[in-house]
Amino acid sequence: MAITSYLITLFLLSLSLSSHSCLATCHVDDETGLLVFKLGIKSDPSGILSSWKRGTDCCTWNGVDCDATNKRVSSLSIYGQANDPNKYLSGTISTSLGKLVYLWGVYFLNTRNISGPFPKFLFSLPELRYVYIENNKLSGPLPINIGKLSGLQALSLEGNRFTGVIPSSILQLAQLTQLKLGKNLLSGPIPTGIGRLKNVTFLSLEHNQLSGKIPDVFSSFSDLMYLELSYNKLSGAIPLSISTLAPTLAFLKLGHNALTGNIPSYLGNFTKLDTLDLSSNFLTGIVPKTFKNLTKIFNLNLARNNFVDPFPEMFVRGIESLDLSYNNFNLIKIPKWVATSPIIYSLKLAGCGIKMRLDEFKPTKTYYYDYIDLSDNKISGSPITLLNRTDFLVGFWMSGNMLRFNMSSLIIPKMSQQLDLSRNLIIGNVPVSVVGLKKLNVSHNHLCGRLPVTKFPVEAFAWNDCLCGAPLIPCKF
């Protein structure tokens, strides 16, 4: 009986091992590399890596894909959610991932709390083609030998904390079609030889601390669709060679720099342009008449420069976002091509010399409006009719005008979060519907009466005729 029992146990054990072997088709190097990486993750509140268990087929693990032929791990895709801390990962990227020698794609997107230096294991992957490590906390300099990743077709490290200069060896990545280094802390100049990356379709270096002039090397880019250099410290004129991008460029973002000179008239030839952002620079002169050719543009931002009249008439089929604020324009009225746009969601014409009654602004469609900023003009009348047509309006700014109406009659859209009607001629009471707002300013008007209970500071209600109640003085009635 003892021998029989032993044989049965041995049989069951061998059966179990056989079953385990069938399930664990994952290569031992792949399994080891992934599980050691998991050990480096100190917090995984939503269990993104909970399916990663020794002895199971790693090709079935969350975020792991394998080659159908050799069953080796070919891509690793770990996704968090930008606004949900429960979907973040905290920890470091282990060098053990270098064991995954058939890996061609690495994707760590919005995991937020992955820290450490540039992952050196990437240099151990001969098949590597795509690297997207976005919105994390990687830091330190980019390696000076980054050019050794010669097989890369896409490199995105945006949304991290990398510092130092962009290494010149990055210009050796001749196969790149996407280079995204935005939203870091990189400094120094843009490498003058960047034109050698002639296959790039998406180039983003925005939100860094880059300085110097924009290199005049864009004639070598035959397929560039996205050029994003906003929010840096770049100076000088807009390069002439950008004119050669007219057949392909859809997004040109140069805002929030220190650029000087005029807007090149050649930009009017960019018939495929979707978005043009030149805001917050030191550009001067007039907006070229050639802008009338930009019939397909959806987003135009020229705010906070030194442009002067006349602003050209445009023949846009349907603009989504327009910002001409704080230049030296005297538009007098809101342009007709703006009022007739069926899809506009953001209209910002603050400080544009508009002198009209707001009642005269009768947009064809108001359904999509999210933001309207007409501050610091000479607009009179009442916003009540307009606000009654904008159910989804999030922000409405009309400070520094000559509006005169009874605020007691104002119906605030349910979706609204910000309302600024300061420095006008408004009378009446503050309606209780302001309680739902996140920001409010009705100071410097002629309002009276008891304030509804709100969380807003004194500054939101100061300098009116006879308002009372918290946070102002107590009411005597």
Residues 54 and 201 in one domain: yes
Domain count for the chain, please give it: 2
- Residue 155 CA to residue 381 CA, distance in Å, equals 53
> What phi and psi values does residue 185 have, to the nearest 5 degrees?
-125, 35
Whether residues 317 and 341 share a domain: the answer is no
The answer to whether residue 49 sits within a structural domain is yes
Question: Looking at the structure, do residues 163 and 275 belong to the same domain, yes or no?
Answer: yes
pLDDT, residue 182, reads 98
Instruction: Clarify whether residues 109 and 123 are in a common domain.
Output: yes
Query: For strand 73-79 and strand 64-66, is the pairing parallel, antiparallel, or unpaired?
Result: antiparallel
Q: What is the pLDDT of residue 85?
A: 84
CATH number of the CATH domain containing 193: 3.80.10.10
- Is residue 380 a part of any domain in this protein? yes
- For the beta sheet containing 112-116, the strands, ordered from the edge strand earlier in sequence to the opposite edge, are 41-43, 89-92, 112-116, 137-141, 161-164, 185-188, 209-213, 233-236, 258-262, 282-286, 306-308
Q: How far apart are CA 256 and CA 304, in angstroms?
A: 9
Specify whether 328 is located in the same domain as 366: no
The whole domain housing 434 covers 333-349+357-477
Q: The tokens 């906070």 sit on which residue?
A: 304
Strand partners, 275: 251, 299
Residues 325 and 373 in one domain: no
At residue 24, the pLDDT reads: 54
Distance spanning both ends of the chain, measured CA to CA: 100
Answer with the one of 324, 341, 356 that is the final residue of a domain: 356
Q: Give the pLDDT confidence score for residue 14 in this predicted structure.
A: 37
Alpha carbons 370 and 162: distance in angstroms, whole number? 34
Is residue 252 classed as helix, strand or coil in its secondary structure? strand
What residue has token string 């007098």?
332
Contact of 442 with 459, CB cutoff 8 Å: no
Burial class (CB in 10 A: 0-12, 13-18, 19+), 146: buried
Is the separation of the CB atoms in 296 and 271 below 8 Å? yes
CA dist., res. 474 & res. 91, Å (int): 53
- Same domain assignment for residues 226 and 341: no
Does residue 3 lie in a domain region?
A: no
Whole-number Å distance between alpha carbons of 69 and 127: 15
Distance CA 15, CA 277 (A): 67
Residue 4 maps to a domain: no
* Low-confidence residues in the chain, pLDDT < 50: 1-23
Q: Same domain for 324 and 376? A: no
Same domain, 319 and 338: no
pLDDT tens digits, 156-202:
999 999 999 999 999 999 999 999 999 999 999 999 999 999 999 99
355-386: pLDDT as tens digits: 999 999 999 888 889 999 999 999 999 999 99
Sequence-ordered strand ranges (E) for 67-104: 73-79, 89-92
Q: Are residues 339 and 270 in the same domain?
A: no
With CA atoms as reference, report the closest residue to 281 among 258, 312, 315.
258
Residues 43 and 112 in one domain: yes
Preceding peptide of 310 cis, ω within 30°:
yes
Q: Within a domain: residue 36?
A: yes
Beta carbons of 212 and 190 less than 8 angstroms apart: yes
Residue 198 falls inside a structural domain: yes
Sign of the Cα pseudo-torsion (195, 172, 157, 162, in order): negative
How many Cβ atoms sit within 10 Å of the Cβ of residue 308?
Answer: 14
Decide if 1 is inside a domain.
no
Query: DSSP assignment of 97-163, as one string?
Result: GGG-TT--EEEEES-EEEEESS-GGGGG-TT--EEEEESSEEEEEPPTTGGG-TT-SEEE--SSEEE
Please tell me whether residue 245 adopts helix, strand or coil conformation.
Answer: helix
Quick one: 300 and 339 in the same domain?
A: no
| Alpha helix stretches (DSSP H) within 224-283 | none
* pLDDT given for residue 391 in this prediction: 86
